[in-house]
Amino acid sequence: SQQGEEDPQALSIQEGENATMNCSYKTSINNLQWYRQNSGRGLVHLILIRSNEREKHSGRLRVTLDTSKKSSSLLITASRAADTASYFCATAPLTGTASKLTFGTGTRLQVTL
């Protein structure tokens, strides 16, 4: 099964609301990354959080990491229609090369006006 499993699989909210998506993983990690994919496009890196960090912010994005629970969450505040996309978490292993990411199954976010 996938190293990262996102929850929920799909999320529909109205513009201005906050969107929260979760990622669970199985093995110890070096870092965890979140990516966005717009329909028909490549993935775009959003944020990277290292295993010794608990929270990180970037603009309207807030990422938390709980290594004891092997989980992470991505919060998008004050969502906009342009945030409509699929969001993926990706984990870099603690052992071996940290460059080899394993991607989760993704959360499809729909933001309506």
Partner 1 sequence: DAGVIQSPRHEVTEMGQEVTLRCKPISGHDYLFWYRQTMMRGLELLIYFNNNVPIDDSGMPEDRFSAKMPNASFSTLKIQPSEPRDSAVYFCASSPQARAQYFGPGTRLTVL
Q: Which stretch binds partner 1 (CB under 8 A): 17-25, 61-69, 77-85, 103-111?
A: 103-111
The yes or no reply on residue 89 touching partner 1 (CB under 8 A) is no
Q: Which stretch binds partner 1 (CB under 8 A): 17-25, 55-63, 67-75, 102-110?
A: 102-110
SS3 category, 81: helix
Instruction: Provide the sign of the torsion angle of the four alpha carbons 104, 41, 45, 84, taken in this order.
Output: negative
Taking the C-alpha atoms of residue 35 and residue 46, their distance in angstroms, rounded to an integer, is 5
Size of the site for partner 1 (CB under 8 A): 23
Q: What does the per-residue mask of binding to partner 1 show for 35-64, with x meaning CB under 8 A?
A: x-----xxxxx--x----------------
The yes or no reply on residue 102 touching partner 1 (CB under 8 A) is yes
Instruction: Provide the sign of the torsion angle of the four alpha carbons 82, 83, 88, 94, taken in this order.
Output: positive
Taking the C-alpha atoms of residue 21 and residue 8, their distance in angstroms, rounded to an integer, is 6
Site residues for partner 1 per CB under 8 A: 2, 30-31, 33, 35, 41-45, 48, 88, 92, 97-106
